[in-house]
Chains A and B, each alone.
Chain A
Amino acid sequence: MSSTPRASDAAAVQMPLIEARDLRVAFQMQRGVFQAIRGVSFSLGQEKLAIVGESGSGKSTVGRAIMRLNPPSAIVTAERLAFKDVDLLSASRKELRRLRGRHISMIMQDPKYSLNPVATVGEQIAEAYRTHHKVSNREARERALTMLEAVQIRSPKRVYDLYPHQVSGGMGQRIMIAMMLISDPEVLIADEPTSALDVTVRLQILAILDDMVKERGLGMIFISHDLNLVRSFCDRVIIMYAGRIVETVAAADLDNVQHPYSRGLLNSLPRLDQKRDRLPVIQRDDSWLEAV
C-alpha cells in the first residue's frame, strides 16, 4: 500500500498502529473557518486508549478524522496521520475503503441511528464481511451468524432476520459490534459506545467489548466523557479540551493528574465513598486554549 521500504522486523513491532502528529481539523463555516482540532498528537499501540473531554472538545472529530469520515466541509491536516505505514492523508479513496472495516473500524454511539432501518441486521453484518471477502451469500451468512453468537446473542438465526427497530438498544449495540469486528480489524474506534444505552446493559456491552478486544489483540480508541468508566476500562487516558490535548496519563494514575482542567473534571464527579456538599463547577482559564 505504501512505497516506503519496510523497516526491520524489530522496528515493525515498535511501529504504532495509529500515529497522529499535529492533527488539525477545521470546518468551513458560512462565516469563516472554525478550528475544531488544533494540533493533536498521540500514538496507539495494542492497548486501550481513552480520549475523554466534554462535548465540543473535539474527541469524536479525532475518531472520524482517523477514519477520514469527516463531512466535506472539514479540512484535515497533519504532520503525520498514519495507520501503521499507510499515510491516511494521502491515501486514495480506494485505499481508504480497503482500510475501513478491514483494518480500522468504528463503533458508533446509538444503534437506533447507526443501523440501516430498512435492512435486516443480519444482512448488514454479512455486508460488512462481503465487502472485504469474495465469498458466497451463504458463507457470509454463516460468518454473520457465528459473529452474532460471539457477541452473546442467544438465537442468532432469529435475530438475523430482524429489522433494527425490532431489537433493543443493548442488542442493537451488540449487533453493531458484530458488524464492525466481523472483518477482523486491527484498530477499533469506539465512539461513546454505551452512552445511548440503559445503565443496566452498559456493563454487559463493555464486557463483550473487552473480551473481543483481548481475544483479538486489538488497538482500541475509546472515546468517552465518563471518567469512571475510562479509569477501569482503559490503559491510557488522553484528556482533551477545546480541540487540544491537555494531558495524557496512565489510567491508573488518573487521580494524580496535574492540569487544572483534568483536576476540575475529576472533582466534578460525585463519589459514593466521600461525602460532598456540592459538586464544583470547572473554573475555566483562557490560557488553556494555548497550553501544551
Chain B
Amino acid sequence: MDVQRERLVASDRKEASRNDAPDDTLVADAVVYRDQAAFGELVRRYQGRVRGYLVKVAGNAALADDLSQETFIRAWTKLSSYRGTGNFSGWLMKIAHNQFLQSLRKGARDRRLAESLEQEADTTELPSVLGGAPDAGVSDLPRFLAVLSEEERSVIVLSYACGCSHAEIVEVTGLPLGTVKSHIQRGRARVREQFAIGEGDHE
C-alpha cells in the first residue's frame, strides 16, 4: 500500500511540476522523448489561442474546432521538424493558418461540387463549408470580419486578437512585410467605413 501511495504522490508531483514547467521544457520533452503528457500540457496552454484564431478567421465554431484538432495532431506528427527557432506559439499558429488555407481550398472544391450537383439534380442549395452564418451573440465582430477578405482577416486577427507583431505575422502567413502592413491599413479603413470606429473619440 505504501509503495502504491508513494507512486501516486510521485505521479502527482510530476504532474504538478509539468503544469508549472516552462514551454521550452515541455517542447523539449515532447520533441526528444515523444512525451504525450508534455504535449498534452502544451495543447491545454495553446488551445485557446489556436481556437480563438481559427474561429475568427473561419467564422464557424464547429469548423474551427475541427481545424484546431487537426492543427494539434499535425503539430504532434511534425514535432521532429520543429527546430526551436522562433517560439513554439508561432510555429503552432503557422500550422493553424495552413489548416485554414487548406479548408478554404477544400471549401472551394466543395462549393464547385455542390454547384455541379445542383445543376444536375436541381436540388436545394447545399450549405458551403465557410459560407454559413457566423456565430451569433458575439458583438459586431462577425459582421466586421465578414467584410474582409480571407487574407486580410487572417492578418487583422493575428495582429489585433492574437497580439502578433508584424514580423510574427510574416512568419505565420508567409506574406511579405509590405503586404501585411497594407492589409492592416486596409482593415483599418474598412473598419472605419463599416462601423465608424473611433469617430466618437474625435469629438
- Please determine whether chains A and B interact with each other in the same assembly: no
Residues of chain B at the chain A interface (Cβ within 8 Å): none
